Amino acid sequence: MLTTPESARIVEGIMVLPFVLMGLSHIASPTMWRSFFVHLHSMGEKGVIYRTFALELIPAIAIVTFHQVWHGWGVIITLYGIVLTTKITLSLLFPAIGLRSLAMAEQHGRSGFIKAGIVLIIFGAICVGLSI
């Protein structure tokens, strides 16, 4: 069985690529992401399910299950996993909340995705720093 420090390092190593790739994509192609999220919103509750299972569930499960770090920079990744899991839970139990989240793509436009991309790259950098 893996100890918490070992499993946390594995999660950090695995999450570097998705964080950085998604972050760079959000910055380089915010119009594409905006269009995708607007499309998901237009799908109604099906869009909430699609976003949840395609983009959010696996990282949330990995972080919440295997990254229980409560000190230093690692706590940021742990808290991200908890917040993401809370968002998933609320979105699936109360789809109107998930739809409201998807609607923010239209409200915040390109700048919202660029800001999100920067945050994702910071999370990736934290994972790199922690897994070295």
Q: Summarize pLDDT for 19-28 with one digit per residue, the tens.
A: 999 999 999 9
43: which 2 tokens? 């799908």
For 64, residues 6+ apart whose C-beta sits below 8 A from its C-beta are: 81, 82, 85
Sequence-distant (≥ 6) Cβ neighbours of residue 78 within 8 angstroms: 63, 67, 68, 69, 70
Single-letter amino acid, residue 15: M
Percent of the chain with pLDDT over 90: 89
pTM of the shown model: 0.90
Residue 109 has pLDDT above 80, yes or no: yes
The answer, yes or no, to whether residue 4 has pLDDT greater than 90, is: no
Predicted local confidence at residue 1, as pLDDT: 54
pLDDT beyond 60 at 65? yes
The DSSP 8-state label assigned to residue 122 in this structure reads H
Average per-residue pLDDT for the chain: 94
User: In the prediction, which pLDDT does 132 show?
Assistant: 72
pLDDT per residue over 83-103, tens digit each? 999 999 999 999 999 999 999
